[in-house]
Structure 1
Amino acid sequence: MKKFQVQPGFVVQAFRFALDPNAAQEQALRSHCGAARAAYNWAVGWVEAAWWQRRAEASYGIFETGLTPWRPWSLPALRRAFNAVKHTDPRFAAWWQENSKEAYSTGLANAAAAFDNYAKSKQGKRRGRVVGMPRFKSKRKARLACRFTTGTIRVETDGRHVTLPRLGTIRVHEPTGKLLGRVQAGSARILSATVRHERGRWFVSFQAEVKRDLVRVARPDVAVGIDLGIKTLAVMADSTGEIREVPNPHHLDAALKELCRASRTVSRRRGPDRRTGQKPSRRWEKANVTRNKVQHRVANLREDALHKLTSAVAAEYGTVVVEDLNVAGMLRNRRLARRIAEAGFGEIRRQLAYKGKRNGCRLVAADRWFPSSKTCSGCGAVKAKLPLHIRTYHCDACGLVTDRDANAAHNLAALAAAAVTGTGVAGDPDARKASKPRGADRKTRTTPSGRRAERGRAGGATLPHQQQTETRDRPQIEALTL
C-alpha cells in the first residue's frame, strides 16, 4: 500500500463515522470487500503452490538446483503477478473490472503482511505467539473491509456525505464536522479511507495527517497508580495520597437476561446447517438480528465507558503507572474469564498508551512479577502469601490496615519515582538493564510475624527458608478482585 511521509508537527489520526448506504451502495461495498478477500486468497494460493511443489519434488530426490524457484510475496511482486493473470483467470476475468483497483490492492497487501509475519515468526524476529502459515479466508467468516489510498477521497462540505472511489457519494449517519472543520482550516489532510462492516453497520475510517498542539495535563507533577480489578474496575491512588474508585458498570451482566432470552429464541428457529446445506428461515434471521443488537449495544456501552475513563486519566496526571498483566493467561481461568474479558484490561492500557502522547502523559508499566498487592505501602514489607479472599491488607511489620486494592495502587504510584531515576521499572526505555525495584523478581521476601518477629528484633537467628521463599503464585492473580 502507499506510504505517506508525515510532516513535522503533525500526527496521524483516524476519524471514524457510521454510514447509511442505500441498497445499491451496500451491494457495491460488499463487492469491494469480497474482491479484497478473493485477491488475498489468490495470493496465498499462488505463493504456497510453489512451496508444495518444491516439497513434492524434494520427495522425488531432485536436487536443490532443480527445484521449482520460490515465488516472492512482496506487495510489488504480488501486484505484477495478479495483473498478469486477472484478464485470463476464470476466477476474475468476468467481474474484476466492477471494483476499484484499491480493493485488490487491499487483499494483496494483507497477504504480503501475513507472509512477512509468518517468516519473522519462523526466524524468531517477531514478538508474541508463533504465527502459522497464512490460511484462506472463508466467505462466511471473513471480516468485510477494504482500504482506499488513491482516487477521490473527501468529506463533502455539507457535513453529511463522504465520497469514495467507485462507490460515489454515501450519506453519513453522523455529522463529519470534527474532520471537515480541520480540512477546511488546512490543519488536516486525508491520507486514506477504510470501509468496514462491524456490529451490523458500515463504518468509514479516514486516516488523516492532523496538526495537533500538545495540551498539557492538568496536574503534570502528580503520578497515579491504577490497580485494575473485577468488582471495582480501577482503584487509583496518586502521589498526593488521594484515592479514587471507578466501579465496574457490568454492562454484560445487566443485559445477560435479555441476551439469554434472545439466544433461546434463536435456538428454537430453523437455523443454517453447513453439513446438510440447510438455509436459515426468515424467522431465524430476524431472531438472530435481535440477538446481535443486544450484543452490539453491550459492546458500544463498554467501549464508551473505557474511553471516558482513559481520557480523564490521560488529561489529568503527568505519570500513569499500570500493571503488566498477563490477560491471556488470566482468561484461562474458567470461573473468571467472562468477567475479565468484560472489564477490558488490555484495552485500558492500549488507550492510555496513545492518549498519553497527546497530553504529554507518561505511561509506565510495572514489572509483571512486582508484588503490588503483597507489599506494604507504609513500610515496604512483603508478604509471602496473600490469598484472593483476603480483601484487607494487614501488615505484620508496621501494623498498617488498609484496603487491598488501595494498597496495591499506592505501591504502583510509588514506582513512578523509581521510573524517573531508572531503577528497573518495565516500560521505561532507560531502565531495561538497571537494578530491579523492590520485589520485582519472582521471589517474594517474607516478613517474620509473631514470636519470629520478636525473636528477630531481639537478635535471634532465623533460618534461610524463613528469610526468603519463592512464591509460586501466578503473576496475573495480583490484579484480580473478586
Structure 2
Amino acid sequence: MAGAAGPPPRRICVGPHPLQQALRHLQAAFTNFFAKRARYPTFKSKKKSRRSAEYTRSAFRYRNGTLTLAKMTEPLNIVWSRPLPEGVSPSTVTVSQDAAGRWFVSLLCADLIPHAPAVNAAVGVDAGLDSLLTFSTGEKIVNPRHEHADRARLARAQRDLSRKQKGSANRAKARLRVARVHARIADRRRDHLHKLTTRLVRENQTLVIEDLAVRNMVKNHRLARAISDAAWRQFRTMLEYKADGYGRELITVDRWFPSSKLCSACGALAEQMPLDVRSWTCRCGTTHDRDVNAARNILAAGLAVSACGAGVRPQRESSRTGRPAVKQETSGATQGIPSL
C-alpha cells in the first residue's frame, strides 16, 4: 500500500528510529558480504536514490486510515492509493521523497493474494518502436512516446538550468523544474505500462515474450533514446511479477529466435529481413505484416516449449538457422515451427 503525502512541517523530529534501521540494513549488508552472498556494501547514489526514512512497528501508529509517526503529535496528511486489506496491520512504514520534491508513504504488510481464475487464452507479444506492442491476435498498441512528447519542455527546462550559477537558489529552483518534467514523463510511462500488463495477465493464461538484450540495444546511439522511452525492460519486469501474482504462465523465447524472418504459415525462413521492411510476401504466397508475423511465431514457439518441455531458450546457432530447440507439433497452434 502506498500514498502521497503533503509537504511536512518545516521542522520535524524524525527520532532515532530511521537511523537505527539504517544501521540494521548496514549490518545485514556486511553479513551477506562475509557470507559471500553479496558484494561489499557501498553508499547509495545521490543521483539515483530517493531520500527515505524507514520506521518499524514501534515507531508509528496506524489507526482508522491515519498514520502518525514517532515524535509527531498530529497524523500525516496522506492521500492513500487504496485501503489496507481487512485484518492486516502494517509492519514497516517508509517515507520517501523523489527528485521532484514529492513525498510518498509506503506500508509493508503480509497478505495472501489468491490467484485469479484460469482463462483459456494465450498471446504472443512482440515489442517494437513504431508499435509499442504487437499481439499475435493482430492488435497493435501505439507507442505513446512520452519522452518525445515532452522533449521541448524538457530541453527548455535544462537550458534554464544550465544558465544558473552553481550553488545559487535559482539553480535549485531550476533543477526542481527539470526533475518535475522527468517525473511527469516517468509517471505517464509507468501508468501506461501498468494498464497494459494488467490487461494482458487478466485476459490470458499463457503469455509469450521475447528475451531482448536492452542493455546492448541502447548502445546504438541512433535508437538509444527511442528504446529507452519504450521501456521494454520495465514492461517485462511488470509482466513477470503480475503473472506470478495472477497465477499465469510467462514464457520467454530466446533473443536469437528468427521470429521476423520465419513464415508463420509454412515455416520457410527468409534469408534477409532489413528493419525497413514492414511487410513481406513468402514464397508460399502469404503476405505478412512483420510485427504480427513475429508475434505469431513467438506464440507458437512458446506453446511448443510448454507442450514438449524443451528449453525455453534455444541454442544460438540453431536459432540463427531457424531451428529452435522445440518439437514440431501437429496442432495448428505450433504451425510454422520447423521440426528438428
TM-score range, shorter chain: 0.7 to 0.9
Q: Against the structure 1 CA distance between its residues 23 and 375, is the aligned structure 2 distance closer, same or farther, given a 3 Å change threshold?
A: same
CA gap of 1:17–1:223, structure 2 versus 1, over 3 A, is same
Q: Give how far 1:351 is off.
A: 0.9
Instruction: Give distance in 2, aligned partners of 1:355 and 1:295.
Output: 26
Unmatched 5+ stretches in structure 1: 1-14, 30-97, 272-279, 428-435, 447-482
SS at match of 2:122: strand
Q: 1: CA distance between counterparts of 2:197 and 2:305? A: 21
RMSD over aligned CA atoms reads 2.8
Provide the rounded CA distance (Å) in 2 between the counterparts of 1:244 and 1:138: 41
Give the match for residue 260 of structure 1. Answer: 155
Determine the structure 2 residue equivalent to 1:109. 25
More helix by share: 1
**AA matched with 1:359:** Y
Q: Identify the residue that residue 171 of structure 2 maps to in structure 1.
A: 284
Rounded to whole Å, the distance in 2 between the matches of 1:298 and 1:325 is: 23
**C-alpha deviation, 1:110, in angstroms:** 4.3
- Contact 1:231–1:248, Cα closer than 8 Å, also in 2: yes
Distance 1:390 1:213, change over 3 A: same
Instruction: Please say which structure displays the higher CA radius of gyration.
Output: 1
1:214 aligned onto 2:200: no
Tell me the TM-score normalised to structure 1 length: 0.61
Cα distance in 2 for residues equivalent to 1:177 and 1:295: 25
Distance of 1:197 and 1:234 partners within structure 2: 32
Tell me the residue number matched to 1:411. Answer: 297
Task: Select which of 46, 68, 71 maps to 1:163.
Answer: 68
Are the structure 2 counterparts of residues 134 and 270 from structure 1 closer, same or farther at C-alpha, using a change threshold of 3 Å? Answer: same
Q: How many residues align?
A: 322
Q: Distance in 2 between matches of 1:425 and 1:342?
A: 31
CA 155–384 in structure 1, closer or farther in 2 if over 3 Å, else same: farther
- Give, in angstroms, the shift of residue 314 of structure 1: 0.7
Residue 393 of structure 1 deviates from its aligned partner by: 3.0
Q: Deviations over 1:225-249 (max 9, x none)?
A: 0001111100011xxxx32111011
Partner of 1:379: 266
**Equivalent residue for 1:190?**
90
In the TM superposition, residue 154 of structure 1 has moved relative to its aligned partner by: 4.3
Provide, for residues 25-52 of structure 1, a one-character-per-residue CA deviation record: whole Å limited to 9, x for no partner.
6x545xxxxxxxxxxxxxxxxxxxxxxx
Q: Do the aligned partners of 1:270 and 1:284 also contact (CA within 8 Å) in 2? A: yes
Report the Cα offset of residue 138 of structure 1.
Answer: 6.5
SS at match of 1:441: helix
Following superposition of structure 1 onto structure 2, how do residues 279-428 of structure 1 map, counting pairs within 5 Å? Answer: 280-396=167-283, 398-426=284-312
Give the Å deviation of 1:296: 0.9
Which residues in structure 2 correspond to 1:67-78 (within 5 Å)?
none
Residues 445 and 421 of structure 1: is their aligned pair in 2 closer, same or farther, counting only changes over 3 Å? Answer: closer
Distance 1:314 1:176, change over 3 A: closer
| SS of residue in 2 equivalent to 1:171 | coil
Q: Which residue number corresponds to residue 143 of structure 2?
A: 248
> Normalising by structure 2, what TM-score?
0.84
Aligned-partner residue type, residue 384 of structure 1: E
Structure 1 stretches of 4+ moved >6 Å: 138-141
* Residue 441 of structure 1: aligned partner: 318
CA shift, 1:114, in A, is 6.6
Contact preservation (8 Å) 1:226, 1:234: yes
SS in 1 for 2:312: coil
| 1:79-112 residue CA offsets vs partner (Å, 9 max, x unmatched) | xxxxxxxxxxxxxxxxxxx421x43333442464
Decide whether the 8 Å contact of 2:57 with 2:90 is kept in 1.
no
